[in-house]
Amino acid sequence: MEKKKFRREPLTDTQLLMTITICIFVVMYLLAMLLLKGGFLHAQQVFDMLNDNASLIIVSCGLTIVMITGGIDISVGAVTSLVVMSCILYLNKGGNIFVAVALALGIGIAFGVIQGFLISYLEIQPFIVTLAGMFFARGMTTILSVNPQKVEHEAFSKFRDIKIVIPWLGYTAKNGNLVPARIELGVVVALVCLVLIFLLLKFHRLGRGFYAIGGNQTSALMLGINVKMTRFISYILSGLLSGISGFVFMMHTGAGNATNAAGMEMNAIASSIIGGTLLTGGVGNVFGTFFGTITLTTIKKIVVSSGLNDPWWQSITTGGMLCFFILLQSVVLSRRSKKKKA
């Protein structure tokens, strides 16, 4: 009997870009460990990056879904701020934690439904609609409270203080005491969202519809995909994840103000692009977005550890890396398209 020859399938554009992002992150982190040392030698450094950016990971996943369809949502940061302020004020009046969660989800879904309807069914440009949503959410946050607010809800404070402790990944401090590694509950929420969205995009018909619309809307219509409804759902998911992100942000900081999550939408877009999501749609992966987020965070930490503490150095470095990844995407995809034609 003849043995069957197994032919290795080439990597898709999404898989290729995600692989490049992961490799760059690993190389950068290893170089930071070798050259800068400091906290980069401890596992807690990675956990701290996750603790600090759990809300950004969630928002970036929602934005990735929208970008895969060829859209954009720049209201996510402002919606996160509105959720934080609304939940803090509600809890400080003696509210229930579960109702606060429902409030956060409700605000996010409301923005997703309204913006998704205007974009999908009235065919208004996504940038214009979500820009209006951003200004509206920021204005509502300021109306709720101009002054910074701190959560004074006793039950929430106890819930917020819960940490997952991993002793064997800890490190020995200078005084000789063992400092165990700690992970916040928000990280668990972010990872659960990440896995669920990955499964949706990978195996569910709706997820395949997102890619089809972003790749070619006309072909998606010919395949029988309800383009308007599918795009509408993508914005609802983005809004829902913004609501979850707001609650996770509040769990991490325990406080809020009118400028909470300022610039989060730009960091989310940068994380998605660095993770291999194309602005033109049709290509993207939430695991790539995850590595894009921690790559962006690693860059900022390397800049600070190098002694460049001024905030503009982080912005300059982020902009440079973003341009690099956009150029890299263009080069890789153009070469692959030439090979396919050949």
E strand or H helix that includes residue 202: helix 185-203
Q: 251 is in which domain, residue-wise?
A: 43-301+312-321
Q: Is residue 13 situated within a structural domain?
A: no
Residue 119's CB: how many other CB atoms inside 10 A?
A: 26
Q: Where are the beta strands (DSSP E) in the chain?
A: 149-150, 163-172, 178-184, 255-256
> Which pLDDT does position 339 carry in this prediction?
61
> Which pLDDT does position 9 carry in this prediction?
64
Q: 3-class DSSP state for residue 71?
A: coil
Q: Is residue 159 situated within a structural domain?
A: yes
Nearest-angstrom CA–CA distance, 285 and 90: 36
Query: What's the average model confidence in pLDDT over 285-297?
Result: 90
Least confident of 62-76, 172-186, 230-244, 314-328: 172-186
Nearest-angstrom CA–CA distance, 224 and 24: 39
Nearest-angstrom CA–CA distance, 219 and 70: 14
> Which pLDDT does position 334 carry in this prediction?
76
Q: Is residue 280 situated within a structural domain?
A: yes
Crossing angle of the two packed helices 264-274 and 76-92, in degrees rounded to 10: 130
258 within 8 A of 146, measured Cβ to Cβ:
yes
Q: Tokens representing 109?
A: 């879904």
Nearest-angstrom CA–CA distance, 58 and 52: 12
Q: What is the average pLDDT score of the chain?
A: 86
Q: Is residue 326 situated within a structural domain?
A: no
Q: Is residue 258 situated within a structural domain?
A: yes
Q: What single-letter amino acid sits at 93? A: K
Is the pLDDT at 55 greater than 50, yes or no?
Answer: yes
251 within 8 A of 162, measured Cβ to Cβ:
no
Q: Is residue 9 situated within a structural domain?
A: no
38: confidence class by pLDDT, cuts 50, 70, 90: low
> Which pLDDT does position 43 carry in this prediction?
76
67: confidence class by pLDDT, cuts 50, 70, 90: very high
189 within 8 A of 244, measured Cβ to Cβ:
yes
Nearest-angstrom CA–CA distance, 104 and 106: 5
Q: What is the CATH number of the domain that holds 245?
A: 1.10.3470
- Identify the residue with better confidence: 117 or 254: 117
Longest dimension (CA), the chain: 78
Nearest-angstrom CA–CA distance, 84 and 100: 10
For residues 311-334, one letter each, b for 16 or more C-beta atoms within 10 angstroms of the residue's C-beta and e for the rest, the string is eeebeebbeebbeebeebbeeebe
Domain count, the chain: 1
Nearest-angstrom CA–CA distance, 269 and 278: 10
Q: Is residue 21 situated within a structural domain?
A: no
For residues 25-60, one letter each, b for 16 or more C-beta atoms within 10 angstroms of the residue's C-beta and e for the rest, the string is beeebeebeeeeeeebebebbbbbbbbbbbbbbbbb
Q: Is residue 339 situated within a structural domain?
A: no
Any residues with CB less than 8 A from the CB of 202 and at least 6 apart, and which?
none
